Chains A and B, each alone.
Chain A
Amino acid sequence: EDQVTQSPEALRLQEGESSSLNCSYTVSGLRGLFWYRQDPGKGPEFLFTLYSAGEEKEKERLKATLTKKESFLHITAPKPEDSATYLCAALNFGNEKLTFGTGTRLTIIP
């Protein structure tokens, strides 16, 4: 059975304090690893797709990386508006459903 585990569950950072969020996955044949951002009361907002180990993608203060067992979402010099829950999800070759982790709730303190 596919599994996705995210850590930490919650993270509080000072504005400007860089850190990383972890996503460990066990999937029978990874087709894609996805990162989403979710604000309270809203649906998940797509951020990145990673397809193979070694791949990296960047968007503003966020960079996502992928290994054969994990993905990291690095946040550099975060701002309060980066506060949200970040979700990781995996898609395998056997079906079309995303398997989600339970998310990391990130709070950036001004």
Chain B
Amino acid sequence: GAGVSQSPSNKVTEKGKDVELRCDPISGHTALYWYRQSLGQGLEFLIYFQGNSAPDKSGLPSDRFSAERTGGSVSTLTIQRTQQEDSAVYLCASSFGGPPYEQYFGPGTRLTVT
């Protein structure tokens, strides 16, 4: 079937505005992950969902960041009161949540905060 999809592909927003990023995982994948990739940095884990629950939110950088997942499928990452340091590519991945543990990534959303 189709791979992981993300929308929008690009988002430019003004400092202080809220943004929502969407992820549609691969059908049948119960686990969903959000990562952030900044210029010159490695991928940084943000949050992990198993079904609709988020057992690991340890990577969220501040309380301005939140995420939810509904119906065990689509997930939304929300950033409130965006700051310039939030500019990055936000990547979503999904997996079966068990062996073989491989995570499959979407194309990402490039967020630019001006």
Contacts and interface: CB of A to CB of B under 8 A. Distances in A.
Interface of A: 4, 31-32, 34, 36, 41-46, 49, 87, 89, 91, 95-103
A97 B54 CA distance: 12
9 contacts: A31-B101, A34-B103, A43-B105, A44-B105, A87-B43, A98-B33, A98-B45, A98-B103, A103-B42
Contacts of B105: 36, 43-46
A42 B31 CA distance: 21
Interface in B9-46: 31, 33, 35, 40-45
Interface size class of chain B, counting residues whose CB lies under 8 Å from the partner chain:
20 to 34
Interface of B: 4, 31, 33, 35, 40-45, 48, 50, 55-56, 58-59, 91, 93, 97, 100-108
A95 B56 contact: yes
Contacts of B4: 43
Which of B43, B58, B93: most chain A Cβ within 10 A?
A: B43
A91 B100 CA distance: 11
Which of A87, A91, A97: most chain B Cβ within 10 A?
A: A97
B101 A91 contact: yes
Nearest to A32: B101
